[in-house]
Structure 1
Amino acid sequence: MDGCEDILTAGQGVDDISVKIVDASQERYLDPISGDDPLVMAARGTVAEVLAKNLRGPADLLKDYQEFNYLVETMPEDYVAQWSAQRPSLEASEAEVRRLQAVAEEVSQRSEASVGFRLIVVDCSGAQGTLIDAALSLRDAVLHWMADEFAASNLKLLEHFDSVTESLNAEPDTTEAMDGLEKFVAQLDTDMEGLVARIDYAKTVHDVLERARYLIDDEVSAFFWELCHWPIQINAEMEEARMRLIRYRSRYMNQLKAEQ
C-alpha cells in the first residue's frame, strides 16, 4: 500500500496539461499585411536601393567588356575578305596582326577571372575566353591570308624561273637562235634586279610569318627556300648561256670559212 500511495502522491505533482491545449477552432492568425502598407513599401524601397547600389559594380564591369563586342560580331572569313580587299601593305598587315594579339592580351588583363562584389561574385572567365578566342581567330585569319598570298606568289615566281632556265638552256644552232638567246640573256640581265627584289620581298613576308610564330606548310617552306637559291642558279645559267653562244658563234664562223 505504501508503494501505491507514493505513486499517487507523485502524480499529484504533475501539471494538468489539458488546460494548455489550444482549441484549434478558436485559434487566431495574424492578418496579412497589405502591399500598400507604409512599412512594406519602405522595406521594398530599402531592398531596391541596396540591390541597385550593389549591382552598379557589375554593370560597370559589363561596360568595360562591351568595347570588345565587335570581336564576336565579326566572322573571321568576312573580316579577312574586307581586309584583303583594301590590298594592304605588308607593314599594315603585320601591324594588324600585332594589334589583334594586343587586343587578346588586353582582354585577359581587363579584370580578374572572378570579380567579387558585396552581394555577388561575377565569373568573367567565360567571357574572357570567348573574346580572346575571337581576337586570335581574326589574327589567324589575317595570317592565313598572308601565308596564302606568300605561297601563291612564290609558286608563280618559281614557274617563271623554270621558264627562264628552259630558255637559257636552248641550243642556238641557227643565227636567229643565237640572236634570240643573246637578246634574252641581255634582257634577263636587266630584269634580274626586279626579280631579286621580289625574292627579297618574299624573305620579308617569311620573316613576318616567323615573328608571328605562324606554322608555314612544309611544301610552301620548301618552295620558298628553293626560290632563295634561284638568283645564284640563274646567274650560273646565264654565264653558261654566254659561253654556249661563244662556242656556237665560233663554230658558225668556222663553217662559213670552210664553205668559202
Structure 2
Amino acid sequence: MIEILSTAELARARATGALVGTILHTLRSRVVPGTTPLDIDRWARELILDAGAVSCYVDYAPSFGRGPFGHYICTSVNDAVLHGMPHDVALADGDLLTLDLAVTLDGIAADAAISFLVGDARPAGSVALIDATERALAAGIAAARPGARIGDISAAIGAVLDSAGYPINTEFGGHGIGSTMHQDPHVPNTGRPGRGYPLRPGMLLALEPWAMADTDRLVTDADGWTLRSATGARTAHSEHTVAITEDGAEVLTRAPRG
C-alpha cells in the first residue's frame, strides 16, 4: 500500500515527526557511560506516553523477528545495526550507539534513527562511519522530489556509501510510511537512477542509510531481533521521515533547534 496524505494529514505528520525528533534529542542528551539500553527504553516509554503517542514497536511482530518486539525503542550497540533489543548491559565510553524510534500520533507514524558515540572516546573509524551514513541520508533527501523515482534516491544514497568504501546490504532499507510504520515502496540503499516508483506530493518516506565497516552480511542474535555485522565490525544508521512536497522533500523528524 502506498498512501498519499492530504493537507490535513500532512499537518499531523509534521506533529508526529517533531515528536520523534524531540524524543531522540532528549534521549541522546541523557546517555552517558553507565547508562543501559533498558534505561533508554524506560525513558522512551515515558516520553511517548506523556505525549499521548503510541509506540510502533511494542506489538511489532514481522515475519523476520521473534515477536512481538516488546520494547519502545531499538538500541543497537557497536556491531549491532538494526532492531537492537534493549538489554541490561551498561554502555561504555566510546560505544557506538544507534537509537531507532517510531511512534504514531493522531493516526500518523514517523520513524527516525541517530547514531552517536557514548562519552568522550572516539575509536578509530567510528566518526567516519557515522558521518558517511549522515551524508548518504542528506544525499537521499536531496534526490527526493516530485517526478523523481525511488531509484534516484537509492542511487544517491549508494553513491555516498560506496565512495566511502562501505559495502551495501539491500535486505533492509527505507520504506513508505503513513498510517502504519512500514508501507510500500521499499527504498534500497543502492540502486539505479530513473527506475522504480515515481514520487508524488503527499508521499511520506522513511529514508535510512546504514552501513557496516567491512561487510554486507548480517547475523541475528539469539534474542531473535538484533541484527549485527557478520564480522563484528562497527555499524551506523541514520534515518529521517520526509514528506514529498511540490518543492522537494520536507524533513519531519529533525531534532529541535537550540
TM over 0.5: no
Q: TM-score, normalised by structure 2?
A: 0.22
Q: TM-score, normalised by structure 1?
A: 0.22
The structure in which a higher percent of residues are strand is 2
Which structure has more relative contact order (CA 8 Å, sep 6+)? It is 2
The structure in which a higher percent of residues are helix is 1
